[in-house]
Structure formats: C-alpha cells, structure tokens
Chain A
Amino acid sequence: MWIGIFTDIHANREALEASLDHARRAGISRFIFMGDYVGYGADPAFAVDVIMSEVERGAIALAGNHDAAIAVGTANMNPVAADSIDWTRPHLSLTHREFLARLPLTFEENGRLFVHASAHTPARWEYVTSTESASRSFMATRAQTTFCGHVHVPGLYHLSPTGKLAGFQPVQAVEIPLLAPRRWLAVIGSVGQPRDFNPAACYGALNIERNVLVYTRVPYDNETAARKVRDAGLPAILSHRLIEGA
C-alpha cells in the first residue's frame, strides 16, 4: 500500500488540490498530513476543510507551528509569518480553530515516526537542516524511520549500523529503499511553499510493504496561487516565493 505524506500545505489551495489529485491517480489511498495547513497562503479555510474531511475518512493529521500559532500566538515567529497568521485567524471558523488546537504533535506506527519538525522535543519546532540537527532527532527516537517537514526543502539523512550519519539530496521520482539495518530521517518538501528553487509542489509517497520512499513533484497553477496571495494583501514576498520556489 502506498501512503501519501503531505506537509507544509500553507493555505495553498491550488497546490493541495493538484497534489491530492496526483496522489490519488498514483494509487495512494491513505494520507498522513504533517502540519502547517495554514499561514502564508490565501486559502486557509479551504485547506483546513480538506484536512478535516480527510481525517474523517481515516487520514492522520499532525500539528505544525503555524497551526499552533493560531491558538497560542506568534511570539517566536518572524514578522512575515506572524503577519500572515494574524491575517489568517479571522478567516478561520471556530470549528477550524478547535480542530487545529486539538492536533497531536506526533504519530508512530510500525517503527515509523511522523512529526512536523523534529523528533527532538517536537513542540520546539527545531529545523532539520544539517547532520547536527538530524543527529539530535535520531537520538530522540527509537523509530527506524522518521518523517518530518518544516524545512520546505527535501532532504534525506541516514545513520549506518556503524554509526555514520550522512545527508543526501533526494532525486525526484526515484524509489529510495529505506533499508532495515540503517536508520532514516526523511525531510519531506513542502506542498504549498517549496523553497528548493523548484516551484512544483512536493509530497512523499511511501510503500509500506516494500519500504521505499519516493519524493514526488507536482507542477500546479502557482501563478493563480501567487495572485491570490497578492490580492489578499499578504506580504509580497509570500507571493514571489510561490513563483520562484525559493
């Protein structure tokens, strides 16, 4: 069975729709959403509605820092992120806000851990961007494989049975075997705001029997998404990012 791993959707309706459609056509029947449904983008209510209905149909949804900030405030955020959360809050209903406030930080199943930012104190939203931060995440869990988002740049860290840790830049659409004696930390790229100089949406496709992971890219109508961000009066950089993918 193939599982779709989606993270950092960021209120991007066009990217979410295109990615879900792509995943279903690719035979994905189960979804795990790893947080940050809102913030930055112009369609937060739509994004949360989709996640809520997917959860009703059995999907797993975790909390991201932007989702948490709706309830707890923007104290640790940069000004652009904080502005967009303040813009987002009145666009969400009470039901949306209650849904976001109840989301768990982690989900673990069969030796696989799913978390928005890092296994190392998940609520501190640490970025996994180096072997050092990856090492802290590896130390914090016994799961063979950890999947996370938060960084918006796809990456894959692996820890050998002899204790050597290395990073790898995954190539899209290639089946990567997550071999057993080795431990893996997969940073899945972002659906709604990629930052690796490729504007196409990114999601992970995991085959649970064969234990292979595919980083999948989905071109979507980013010009419309960017225009809606601009028209909403959100910071201009958030619109540019969708075009540049950076």
Chain B
Amino acid sequence: MDPRALTAGQMIDGFRLVEPMQAGGMANFWRVTREDIDLPMVMKVPLLRLGEDPITIIGYEVEQMILPRLTGPHAPRFVAAGDFEMPYIVMEFVAGPSVKSLLDKTPLPPDEVAAIGARIAFALHDIHHQHVIHLDLKPSNVILRDDDAVLIDFGLSRHDQLPDLIQEEAGGPVGTGAYVAPEQVLGDRSDARSDLFALGVILYFLATGDRPFGEPQRADNWRQRLWRDPVPPRSRNAAIPPWLQEIILRCLEVDPDARYATAAQLAFDLQHPDQVALTGRSARQHRDGIFTVLWRRLRARREPLLRRREALTTHLATAPIVVAAIDLEPGHEALRHALALAVRRVLITEPNARLACVNILKIARLALDEMEDAQGRNPHLSRLIELKHWARQIPIAPDRITYHVLESTDPAGQLIDYARHNRVDHIIIGARASSALRRYLGSVSARVVAEAPCTVTVVRTQVDGASAGAEQNADAQVG
C-alpha cells in the first residue's frame, strides 16, 4: 500500500484514519481512533519506497524496537505496529506545544529557558535510565505537556542493550546538523552525554535566538564544531546571566567528560541558579582566537574523542546526586562526624557524584517568617555557614557540592519531596538515638527510609547506639 494514498475514514487493522497531520520528511502522520482504545492516538506511516534513504526504513525498525520498551511520562505510549506489508506505528498523541513553536519568541527570558531546559533534562534522565540515548534531540522532537517534556521520534535512537541498527546501516554520522554532538560526528553513538550537547544547543537557541553552530546540512561541515567554539551567549544577548552561560557552554563542551555527567546533574544546576559554580566559561566574551582554533583543529585530526565507554546505566551509577541530610542541632557532633565519613566513602567509589548538603529548618506551622533568631542572627545564613564548615571534611571539587537550607513544618516530607524533585539517587542521613519522645513523634530517618524514591543510608554512631539501649532500659523501668 502506498502510504501517500491513504484517505480519511480508511480502516487499517481496526484503526480508523481521522485526519492527516503534518507530513514529515520520513513519514506521514494520521490522527487515528480505535473503538476499544480510549487514548488520543497518532499513526506514523514511514515512507518506505524504493530509492528512499535506507535510514528511513531502519529508523522505522529502531522505533519499533525502542518505543514499546519505554515507560513513563517522557515518551509517547506505544500502541501497535504493523507488519512489513503495511508498516506503521500507532502511539499516543502527545498534546502540547513543541519547543519548536517557541523559537519565534526567542530570545526567551533566562528563567524560562532554565525551566524548559530542566524539564527536557528530566525527560532525558528518565530515558537514559531506561537504556536509551535519543541522539536526535531538537526542538521539533520535544513536546511540552503539563509539567513534563515528552520526547518523540526515536528513529535514530540507541538502546544500549540491543543491536544498534543505525550504526550498522549508516556509513557516516547520522543526526540533525544543528544539534549533533562532536562524538556523534566521529561516529560514536554510545554516549548519553551526546543528548546533553543537543540540549545545550537548544538552550543556546532559546536564550539567544541563534543556533550556536548554524544549520550545516552536509555531514562534512559538522566536523567544524570539533575545533570552532560558539559565540558566547552573553555577547549575543546581554540579558543572559553568567550562570546560564556557564551551563550552556558546559553542555557544549567538545569533550563529553567536560560536560555534565548526567542529565539529572544538569537539571540540578538549571533548578538552582544561585548554586552554579562559575568558571571561565561564564565570563567568556569572545570566541577563541585563530591560533587556539587552528591548534585544536590539528589536534582533532590526531586525537579522536573516541574511547571505550561503560554501559549506559553503569555510567549513570557512577554519577549520582547524593544528598547529605545534616542535623545541625548541638550535641550531635559524633553523628555529624560519622555522617561525613559515610559521605566520603560514597564519594570515593563514585567519583562523578554531586553532593548536596541539606539542612532542614523546622518551623512552627503558624509562625510568620522569622528572619532573625533571639540573638538577631539570620538563621538561614548561620546554618549555611555551619553546613559549609561541616563540608570541609569532604574532599570534593567546589563545582560538585552545593548547600541548601530548607524550611518546613515537616522535615521528613520536605526531604522526600526534595529527593523526588531533584532526581536524587542516594540520601545519607543520620539517625539520632531513640528516645521515648522520638518514638512518639516518629523518627525522620525512618520515614525517609520508608518513603524516599531512592537509596537511603542511615548513619548511626556506636556511642549513640549504646546509649539508646540504656535509654530503653530506663524507659522499661519507668513503665
């Protein structure tokens, strides 16, 4: 059947074609319904004809392979696929504006750029955890729905536990010229950080209104980004703050190791602009000089970026976001020390980890914001100072550690929300010795263990443990 000859009202395997949507370069799209499925759906019919680019055929296979395996809110739900006689994929129709539709309004305000960027980064983190690298991330492939970003078109994607059909098929690099990462240009399709590069291009575009590397169509011209750095975003748009330039240029680093280790770590910075560690990137005003560029060009010829990488989920596991939940009440020095030792052990085994030091300031339910304590000090500020002092025992680069004082009437709930919101991988929390009051009120650490969406390590001290036993005996005597 010729996919170009489909008509409204036609039935295909129980799906009724309602109306055609936009025709893409590689496929036609139809809104479809089926009586037994209550879901807005779209049918993608690949244009598989003699003489078409073979990548069209293979991309259809790839999407058929990958889409059914993806779950969660960041990819359309797979519904059905046709056979080779009548190839099609039916998937959930994702309602919402694409990021492409925002490009007319660029440059966008920095906070809006960061908010959209964080949503896309969370979507990437989710699919990376499901072993998939998108590898064709661009504004038209991102739909903004509710509070999420939904990624579409997995035709050029790679699942790191399945054969890479695109790699086998294509002699050279595959992707979209404006967004393709340097390592993809060199033929490496195994690095999740390629998606972070493409997201960097999107952020650059949204913040400045320009593409950092133009729109080269021919793959020969993609190589230029191996040595030619983009115009710093702030010199295109002075309204961009240094932290946003820092984030964008870090995403656009040629060497994947110099980018963010994971999409969750990128999202973390986008959500905490005040905590972004500024480097020379944030202050850059011009592109590098001709001699630097020439030198890089010569070096790029000799030292390709290709190196063997670990499996995707192994890589993600080496770059967790770790939260140290620190109790700053006086009298718990031994516990704080034990917590520091536990954090050090985790950081030694996971060198790309990011550490967020969190203290929760418990406030009374109805109290107004108190900006000063009884001595006239700002409790926030003094706690930040204490957190930083505690962290002196932790050997970690300054760009990998952040400090957060949160306020809540419900410390455990706040910590759990924080972990969920920031895609935290591991919480390390101290448990105070138990006491009658604590048993009555419930322990923060116990609730965090029960409800947090991630690994939780509870740290105790020997001394506290022993005294807890003694206290229990005392309770028993009272009882």
Could you list which residues of chain A lie within 8 angstroms of chain B, going by C-beta atoms? Answer: 156, 158, 160-162, 164-166, 168, 171, 174, 176-177, 179-182
Main secondary structure of the interface of A (DSSP, over half): loop
Contact of B57 among A161, A165, A177 (CB under 8 A): A161
Query: Which residues on A sit within 8 Å (CB–CB) of B167?
Result: 166
Given contacts A160-B169, A180-B84, contact A168 B64 (CB under 8 A): no
How far apart are B96's CB and chain A's nearest CB, in angstroms?
Answer: 29
Q: Which of B68, B162, B169 contacts A164 (CB 8 A)?
A: B169
A171–B313 alpha-carbon span in the complex (Å): 13
Top-4 shortest CB links A-B:
A166-B168, A168-B163, A171-B161, A174-B161
Interface residue total, chain B, C-beta cutoff 8 A: 16
Residues on B lying within 8 angstroms of A by beta carbon are 54, 57-58, 61, 64-65, 68, 83-84, 161-163, 165, 167-169
A174 B162 Cβ-Cβ under 8 A: yes
A160 and B162 contact, Cβ closer than 8 Å, known pairs A179-B64, A180-B84: no
The docked-state distance in angstroms from the alpha carbon of A180 to that of B87 is 11
- Which residue of B is nearest A174, CB measured? B161
Q: Which residues of A contact B163 (CB under 8 A)?
A: 156, 158, 166, 168, 176
B157 to chain A, nearest CB (A): 14
Contact between chains at B83 and A160 (CB < 8 Å): no
- A162 proximity list for chain B (CB < 8 A): 54, 57-58, 169
Chain A, Cβ-Cβ closest to B131: A174
A-B contacts counted at CB < 8 A amount to 43
Nearest B residue to A177 by beta-carbon distance?
A: B65
Question: Are A179 and B169 also in contact (CB < 8 A) when A161-B57, A162-B57, A171-B161 are?
Answer: no
- A171 contacts which chain B residues (CB < 8 A)? 161
Q: Contacts of A161 on B, CB cut-off 8 Å?
A: 57
- What would be 9 A-B contacts, judged by CB atoms less than 8 Å apart? A156-B163, A160-B54, A161-B57, A162-B169, A168-B163, A174-B161, A177-B162, A179-B65, A181-B84
Q: How distant is A70 from chain B, measured CB to nearest CB, in Å?
A: 37
**Chain B residues closer than 8 Å to A164, beta-carbon distance:** 168-169
A171 to B163, CA, bound (A): 10
Chain A, residue nearest B62 (CB) = A179
Residues of A within 8 A of B65 (CB): 177, 179
A residues in contact with B169, CB < 8 Å: 160, 162, 164
Q: Looking across the interface, which residue of chain A has its beta carbon closest to that of B57?
A: A161
Judging by beta carbons under 8 Å apart, are A182 and B61 in contact?
A: yes
A residues near B168, Cβ cutoff 8 Å: 158, 160, 164-166
In the bound complex, CA of A160 to CA of B61 (Å): 10
Inter-chain CA distance A168–B162, complex, in Å, is 8
In contact, A181 and B162 (Cβ under 8 angstroms): no
Residue from B54, B163, B169 whose CB has the most chain A CB atoms within 10 Å? B163
Instruction: Using CB atoms, name the residue of chain A closest to B160.
Output: A171
Contact residues in A for B57 (Cβ distance below 8 Å): 160-162, 181
A182 to B162, CA, bound (A): 14
Give the distance to chain A from B231, nearest Cβ to Cβ, in Å: 40
Q: Shortest Cβ distance from B289 into chain A, in angstroms?
A: 44
Nearest CB of B to A190, in Å: 21
Provide the bound-state CA to CA distance between A166 and B164, in Å: 9
Given contacts A158-B163, A160-B54, 15 further A-B pairs with CB under 8 A are: A158-B165, A160-B168, A162-B54, A162-B58, A165-B168, A166-B163, A166-B167, A168-B162, A168-B163, A174-B161, A179-B64, A180-B84, A181-B57, A181-B84, A182-B61
B64 touches A177 (CB 8 A): yes
Distance in angstroms between the alpha carbons of A176 and B168 in the assembled complex: 17
Complex Cα spacing A228 to B342, Å: 46
Contacting residues, chain B, for A176 (C-beta < 8 A): 162-163
Q: How far is the CA of A12 from the CA of B280 in the complex (A)?
A: 63
CA of A43 to CA of B98 in the docked complex: distance in angstroms? 64
Contact residues in A for B165 (Cβ distance below 8 Å): 158, 160, 182
CA distance A160 to B58 in the complex (A): 8
In the bound complex, residues from chain B placing their C-beta under 8 Å from that of A181 are: 57, 61, 84
**Which of chain A's residues have a CB closer than 8 A to the CB of B58?**
160, 162
Q: Which residue of B lies closest to A159 (CB)?
A: B168
Nearest to B162 among chain A residues (CB) is A176
Residue on A nearest B61 in the bound complex, by CB: A179
CB distance from B354 to the nearest CB of A (A): 28
Chain B residues closer than 8 Å to A179, beta-carbon distance: 61, 64-65
The chain B residue sitting closest to A157, CB to CB, is B163
Nearest-Cβ distance from residue A156 to partner chain B, whole angstroms: 7
Question: Given A160-B58, A160-B169, A164-B168, is A180 in contact with B161 using a C-beta cutoff of 8 Å?
Answer: no
Using Cβ atoms and an 8 Å threshold, which residues of chain B touch A156?
A: 163
Residues from chain B with a CB closer than 8 A to the CB of A165 are 168
A182 — which chain B residues lie within 8 A by C-beta?
61, 165
Can you name the residue of chain B whose Cβ is closest to the Cβ of A167? B163
Residues of B within 8 A of A158 (CB): 163, 165, 168
Chain B min CB distance to A207 (Å): 13
Q: What CA separation (Å) do A160 and B57 show in the bound complex?
A: 9
CA distance A177 to B65 in the complex (A): 7
A158 to B163 CA separation, bound complex (whole angstroms)? 9
Contact A180 B83 (CB under 8 A): yes
Question: In the complex, what's the smallest C-beta–C-beta distance from B160 to chain A, in angstroms?
Answer: 8
Q: How far is the CB of A173 from chain B (nearest CB, A)?
A: 9
Docked CA distance A176–B161 (Å): 9
Chain A, Cβ-Cβ closest to B167: A166
User: B379 to chain A: closest CB distance in Å?
Assistant: 51
Please name the residue on chain B nearest to A162 by beta carbon: B54
- Closest residue on chain A to residue B84 by CB atoms: A181
Bound CA span A182–B168, Å: 13
User: Distance in Å from the Cβ of B273 to the closest Cβ of chain A?
Assistant: 39
- A residues within 8 A CB of B64? 177, 179
Smallest CB separation, A162 vs chain B (Å): 4
User: Could you tell me the distance between the alpha carbons of A179 and B68 in the complex, rounded to whole angstroms?
Assistant: 13
State how many angstroms separate the Cβ of A72 from the closest Cβ of chain B.
38
Min CB–CB distance A166 → chain B (angstroms): 4
A164 to B: closest C-beta gap in Å: 5
Instruction: Report chain A residues within 8 Å CB of B84.
Output: 180-181
Residues of B contacting A174 with CB < 8 Å? 161-162
Chain B residues in 8 Å Cβ range of A177: 64-65, 68, 162
B13 to chain A, nearest CB (A): 15
Docked Cα-Cα span, A171 to B57, in Å, equals 25
- Tell me, in angstroms, the Cα distance from A176 to B159 when the chains sit together: 11
For the complex, give the distance between the alpha carbons of A237 and B14 in Å: 60
